[in-house]
Amino acid sequence: MSTAPHDPHAEVHFTSSETVRDIVIGLADGLTVPFALAAGIAGAVTNIASPTHLVVTAGLAEIAAGSIAMGLGGYLASRGDTEHFEAERRREEREVVERPADEEEEIYEIFEQYGVDREAATPVLRSLQANPKAFVDFMMRFELGLEEPAPGRALRSAATIAVSYIVGGAVPLASYLVFSDIQRALKVSVVVTLIALAVFGAIKGKALGASVLKSALQTVAIGGVAAAAAFELARLLNSHP
């Protein structure tokens, strides 16, 4: 794998924020969707023998499906990004050799967007032309806006998202495992999960440098709206079987 010139500080920032992003993606959906689904089923199925068992079954099936879909989806998306980067890089490497005049023109056009005329841009162009690898690196970043994906990122990303989804999903389901009374299990699940969503939102806000309170309220709102919608929809359907 080629090594593009990187600002080491920028790269550390980039990698850690990508991991935080994966955890956020997995936890946000894991806390929200199984929570809302469990609430929906709990609101609908009151006339069967062991409704909490059904909620747990459906909830775990959802967690399996959701974590695999998100994890594998994340894996393939990251792999796709890497393949796209490598294909574009090979194309630039070819073009630098085969169409040097076009590439010269592209450099001038990049600088023109920032009001830098040809005369001022020429010394940079000559310097890049003396170093074809740097020329390609420059085009990848400044013409195409592509950053080289970190090696091994695809698998790490998939695992991070999937595990975060499972951890998140375990929170709303736990109370249905503990309480056999479905109404009680639902109430505890709602309280526990809304608290977890608020804590998660606050930490997310802090990690991403946004407002802690706003982030907490937003996360609670998403989970609350999703659960309320699922609950009402399921109850409506069940009142007209």
Range 137-166, binding a copy of itself (CB under 8 A): 137-138, 141-142, 145, 147
By CB under 8 A, is residue 134 in contact with a copy of itself? yes
Contacts to a copy of itself from residues 204-223, by CB under 8 A? 208-210, 218, 221-223
Rounded Cα distance between 69 and 63, Å, is 10
Contacts to a copy of itself from residues 78-107, by CB under 8 A? 80, 83-84
By CB under 8 A, is residue 56 in contact with a copy of itself? yes
By CB under 8 A, is residue 184 in contact with a copy of itself? no
By CB under 8 A, is residue 119 in contact with a copy of itself? yes
By CB under 8 A, is residue 124 in contact with a copy of itself? yes
Tokens of 64: 């399996």
By CB under 8 A, is residue 181 in contact with a copy of itself? no
Q: Quick one: which segment of 89-97, 173-181, 186-194, 227-235 binds a copy of itself (CB under 8 A)?
A: 227-235
Which of 54, 107, 196, 202 forms a contact with a copy of itself (CB under 8 A)? 54
Neighbours of 108 (CB within 10 A): 15
By CB under 8 A, is residue 241 in contact with a copy of itself? yes
By CB under 8 A, is residue 2 in contact with a copy of itself? no
By CB under 8 A, is residue 12 in contact with a copy of itself? no
By CB under 8 A, is residue 199 in contact with a copy of itself? no
By CB under 8 A, is residue 226 in contact with a copy of itself? yes
Task: Please write down the HEC assignment for all residues of the chain.
Answer: CCCCCCCHHHHHHHHHHHHHHHHHHHHHHHHHHHHHHHHHHHHHCCCCCCHHHHHHHHHHHHHHHHHHHHHHHHHHHHHHHHHHHHHHHHHHHHHHHHCHHHHHHHHHHHHHCCCCCHHHHHHHHHHHHCCHHHHHHHHHHHCCCCCCCCCCHHHHHHHHHHHHHHHHHHHHHHHHHHCCCHHHHHHHHHHHHHHHHHHHHHHHHHHCCCCHHHHHHHHHHHHHHHHHHHHHHHHHHHHCC
Least distance in angstroms from the C-beta of 7 to a copy of itself: 7
By CB under 8 A, is residue 108 in contact with a copy of itself? no
By CB under 8 A, is residue 29 in contact with a copy of itself? yes
